[in-house]
Amino acid sequence: MDRVALVTGGTRGLGAAIAVALRDAGYRVATVHRSNVDAAQAFREKTSIPVFCWDVADFSACREGIRQVESEIGPVDILVNNAGITRDAVLHRMTPEQWSAVILTNLGSVFNMSRNAIEGMRERGFGRIVNISSVNGERGQIGQANYAAAKAGILGFTKSLALESARKNITVNAIAPGYCDTDMVAAVPKEVLDKIVAGIPVGRLGNGGDIARLVLFLADDAASFITGATFDANGGQFMA
Q: Is 147 a catalytic residue?
A: yes
Question: What are φ and ψ of residue 112, in 5° steps?
Answer: -55, -45
For ligand NDP, which residue of 4, 5, 7, 9 counts as binding (CB under 6 A)? 9
The DSSP code for 180 is B
> Binding to ligand NDP by residue 6, rule CB under 6 A?
no
The answer to whether the CB of 134 falls within 8 A of the CB of 211 is no
Which of 216, 240, 237 has the alpha carbon at shortest distance from 25?
216
Instruction: Give the footprint of ligand NDP on residues 10-49 (CB under 6 A).
Output: 11-15, 32-36, 39-40
Which of 24, 136, 131, 22 has the alpha carbon at shortest distance from 83?
131
CA–CA gap between residue 136 and residue 148 (Å, rounded): 5
Which part of the chain contacts ligand NDP (CB under 6 A), choosing from 54-62, 67-75, 90-98, 217-225?
54-62
Count, residues near ligand NDP per rule CB under 6 A:
31
CA–CA gap between residue 11 and residue 31 (Å, rounded): 7
By C-beta, is 84 or 127 nearer to ligand NDP?
84
CA–CA gap between residue 76 and residue 66 (Å, rounded): 8
Which part of the chain contacts ligand NDP (CB under 6 A), choosing from 92-100, 161-169, 173-181, 196-204?
173-181
Question: Under DSSP, is residue 3 helix (H, G, I), strand (E, B) or coil?
Answer: coil
The answer to whether the CB of 175 falls within 8 A of the CB of 226 is no
> Binding to ligand NDP by residue 87, rule CB under 6 A?
no
Instruction: Give the footprint of ligand NDP on residues 56-75 (CB under 6 A).
Output: 56-57
By C-beta, is 52 or 126 nearer to ligand NDP?
52
Q: Among residues 43, 52, 99, 147, which one is catalytic? A: 147
By C-beta, is 124 or 238 nearer to ligand NDP?
238
Strand order, beta sheet including 230-233:
51-53, 28-33, 4-8, 78-81, 127-132, 170-177, 230-233
Site string for ligand NDP, 88-127 (x = CB under 6 A): -----------------x----------------------
Write out the catalytic residue numbers.
147
The residues binding ligand NDP (CB under 6 A) are 8-9, 11-15, 32-36, 39-40, 55-57, 82-85, 105, 132, 134, 177, 179-180, 182-185
